[in-house]
Amino acid sequence: MEKTVSDIPTPGSRPGPLSRAARRRRAATGAALALLVAVTGCTGSPEEKPAATDRAAGGTPVTLTGPLCDALPSGTEPGNPGSLVGQPPGQALTWIPVLTTFEAAVRATGMAEELSAPGGLTILAPTDDAFRAKFSTANMDNLLLKDTDTLRKLLREHLVAGAHPVGDLVAAGTLTTLAGTTLAVTGAGPGARLADRAETVCADYRAADTRIHVINKVLGNLPDTAHEEDHHH
């Protein structure tokens, strides 16, 4: 009988040169994110928080898996995995440098409190590159600054009840998001492939009652608009 994630006990290259259009997209999106920070308030800066090792306060090591992990903070660097254990998930997201768009979307929609819901949560967080590959700058700006209802629904396509390690998601074979979408989960090296579409690229960050798995594609059914950027430029 096929299991779902609800059956799991809840327990957490350097890029090539950018084209002129891509540089404009990145600059414009950066401006929108800067405006969003000014409107909602910044949740903190690296200079304000102490560094820690890759072990949680209790001494338990935090082990991440995936090809992107080596490029992310580790050791005693600010934002290393051990330092995020016990932090509210909304705050922990600010320390993972490839999740600035996802974290901005959480603030734009006021969903930080929802991420700390009783019972724990699994966050499937797309990278900034994943958002750029999915949405045009204008589309993303509209979601962040105006159409937050649609953005909130999109975020829920990336949230799963219960704090599940990536191995448990693979063992279950399927998961159901808070948006009600059921996704097939298969193994992909030490990580997971979701709906034969996205893969975890750095899995098993742990925050308070939360597992954060960084993924390389945006889930959900919103249309792809990134191609419109090059078309208009």
Stretches in the chain below the pLDDT threshold 70 = 1-60, 229-233
Q: How far apart are the first and last CA of the chain?
A: 52
CATH class entry, domain 24-32+51-220: mainly beta
Cβ–Cβ under 8 Å, residues 192 and 199: yes
Q: What is the pLDDT of residue 26?
A: 47
Q: What is the pLDDT of residue 80?
A: 94
Cβ–Cβ under 8 Å, residues 202 and 65: yes
pTM of the model: 0.77
pLDDT in tens, 3-47: 455 444 443 333 344 444 444 444 444 545 544 444 344 333 333
Q: What is the pLDDT of residue 52?
A: 30
Q: Residues with Cβ < 8 Å from 134, sequence gap 6 or more?
A: 126, 217, 218, 222, 224, 225, 226
